[in-house]
Amino acid sequence: MTRILSPWRGVDDHAAVGVLAELADTATGPVIDVRSLWYGLVAGEIRITESFFSLERFYFVFSPTAPLRHRPPQRHFRLLEDVLTGSSQKAAAIDGRVAFSTVASACKGCLAYMGLTTLPSKISPLLNLLALRARDRELTVDPRVRQIEHADCQFSILSAPRCDAPLAYRLSPAKYEVTRLLVEGKTHAEISAARGTSPRTIANQLASAFADLGVSSRAGLVNRLLVKMP
């Protein structure tokens, strides 16, 4: 199990993560519509309380919560949806007729409301997946949602195969590795440290990978990997 689990919370309990992954992969509880998770997050009925990944899958854990005070306006959630489903923040600002800074602050506020206090560049592709399904986009991966009762706790686990796995067959080994780490949420500096190469080399490899795939950003890459092309 490769783990970064909850980088915004600092949780580092490998055993607990193994239990969660096993529950997600073996549970036989009722299957839940993926879109309902997005609507539950927007309504403040659930929050993301854990995020982790293995070499094969990404995972989110959702826990029920009482609606929080100071819910962001609905238009802010629409801006976040725009960004998660492929628009740049600049494009979302133009389409929404708001300032660029408004988009940035709106996304930050909505993410915090959902339980995520990390940088947008570190958010799991599963959040993009939820926003895409909320807009009825067809996906390249088959997500699985299970409602689980364990140790007197009730929660839901969303898991999906890694959307970056097919890149192993489309990119050189070096470009695939840096792209995989980027999708996991690592910064250029973190990728550089993990690979033992300079940040300039990482930037060049990512730029070359983006050119090969016809994208210009991590968000664009994630959406290209998740959305089934007609």
Asked whether the predicted pLDDT for residue 145 surpasses 80, the reply is yes
pLDDT value at position 69?
A: 74
Enumerate residues 6+ apart whose C-beta is below 8 A from 204: none
Q: In whole angstroms, what is the distance from residue 146 CA to residue 128 CA?
A: 19
Enumerate residues 6+ apart whose C-beta is below 8 A from 38: 130, 131, 133, 134
Could you report the per-residue pLDDT of 154-213, keeping only the tens digit for each? Answer: 788 898 999 999 999 999 999 999 999 999 999 999 999 999 999 999 999 999 999 999
pLDDT value at position 150?
A: 62
Could you report the per-residue pLDDT of 66-76, keeping only the tens digit for each? Answer: 777 789 999 99
Asked whether the predicted pLDDT for residue 12 surpasses 50, the reply is no
As a three-state string, the secondary structure of 79-114 is HHHHHHCCCCHHHHHHHHCCCHHHHHHHHHHHHHHH
- The full set of domain ranges for the chain reads 1-163, 165-226
Q: What does pTM read for this prediction?
A: 0.86
Right CATH for 165-226 from 1.10.10.10, 3.30.530.20, 3.40.250.10, 1.10.275.10: 1.10.10.10
